[in-house]
Amino acid sequence: MTTAAKSPADALIAKAQDRSALIGIVGLGYVGLPLAMEFARAGYRVLGFDVNPKVVDGLGEGRSHIQDVPQAEVAGFVKAGKFAVTADLARLSEPDLVSICVPTPLSKTKDPDVSYVLAATDSVKRTLRRGQLIVLESTTYPGTTRELMLPALEGTGLRVGEDFFLAFSPERVDPGNPKWNTRNTPKVVGGITETCRRVAVAIYQPAIARLVPVSSPEAAELVKILENTFRSVNIGLVNEMAIVCDKLGVDVWEVIDAAATKPFGFMKFTPGPGVGGHCIPLDPHYLAWKMRTLNYRTRFIELAGEINADMPVYWVARVVDRLNERGKAARGSTVLVLGVAYKKDIDDVRESPALDVIRLLRQRGAVVQYHDPHVPTLREDAVELKSVPLTAELLQSVDCVIIVTDHTDIDYALVAGRAPLVVDTRNALAAVRGKGDGE
């Protein structure tokens, strides 16, 4: 059989095998750029799309704006002709795979905002051609791929599974994780048809170490939501346990560490000031919203979300109580927030509980400063803050330090030894406990 006589599916699979397929990535953020690098590393040519001109210009000149993607890697692939970037969505007709990695935020009422997905789908629809594979990677509610994307794309007159192929493959990015990255994290793939799934697996296989095919895009959509709902519920449980232990006068960290010695039936989660990032605070709400449309209330999801969202309030109250014990009011006191990224050793502040902690402290009248080696500037409530150097003089001058993000490159011995009062939401002072006046 000649290449011209092959079906669109077989032709695309052949292109995957010889790496002649052109890969298109729509959205070059925390998900899209690492994925683009893996495709380029696998031998594909990659064309990235982004609507932000700064991102397009920077990447085009070989500069990375994502902490986990080395600049030398981007520059190397650009120079080798393996990676190019454009803002021209009319060029979406060129790639054989169009992977959509755009944001899926929540509205103020906790409803999914799929406007970015719809905009990307409309752009793809305008240029869709025979033989293309379209994959949505953005986390969303079950049914998005089939109910929103499929009708739009089939509106072109092309038939899914025959002329073009459509699948959902959820991103599983964990920024700052030194062990698990885009390549070695198993990737779930669910196609509208069996042929769609087969084509998607063939395209991704050279770039991803292990693929996990599932029966439908709905199953794949639910996989990601289940993963982060599991984490949200368990984090909510240990956050509530932290409050319980506080009221009982018991060390929650001691209880958790002792429970974790059980070799079965227990998985260790740790409490903190809340949850952040673009996954755990948002993903469970996609499912909760979908179930409300089917007249079902997801009680575990909603309760966990309430507990996690209230943790900044709890910890700010602890700061106020500890200041009161020293005869100081929150109003007029200087509080140093240590760490503002949503988790340690990264520069991402999306949905970070530190933002709420800062806002609540300022509402109480406190003078708030922050130190974060990964986040030099921060904008909160239209006010721009700058990270202050962590020195012995600074620590001695403030009334309280609240540790919100436990970055590994912070001198906690210095904090414990020089700060007059420390409220530790992460148990970061465990190694130096007893050297300062912490929680």
Neighbours of 1 (CB within 10 A): 7
Place of tokens 């800062």: 358
Q: Which secondary-structure segment (H or E) carries 369?
A: strand 367-371
**Which residue intervals of 339-399 are DSSP H helices?**
353-363, 392-397
Taking residue 152's Cβ as centre, other Cβ atoms within 10 Å add up to 14
Query: Distance between CA 154 and CA 158 in Å, rounded?
Result: 5
Per the annotation, the verdict on 279 as an active-site residue is yes
Q: In whole angstroms, what is the distance from residue 292 CA to residue 253 CA?
A: 37
CB 397 within 8 A of CB 406: no
Q: How far apart are CA 370 and CA 61, in angstroms?
A: 33
Token pair belonging to 101: 């990695």
C-beta of residue 38 within 8 angstroms of C-beta of residue 48: no
Distance, in Å, from the CA atom of 44 to the CA atom of 21, rounded to the nearest integer, reads 7
- Which residue in 101, 196, 245, 279 is the catalytic one? 279
Q: Are 103 and 140 in contact (CB under 8 A)?
A: no
Measured CA to CA, the distance from residue 436 to residue 177 in angstroms comes to 30
Strand-strand pairing, 187-191 and 211-214: parallel
Sign of CA dihedral 61, 67, 71, 73: negative
Q: How many CA atoms lie within 13 A of 46 on its CB side?
A: 33
Count other C-beta atoms under 10 Å from residue 271's C-beta: 25
Q: How far apart are CA 7 and CA 248, in angstroms?
A: 68
- SS3 at position 159: coil
| Residues with catalytic roles | 279
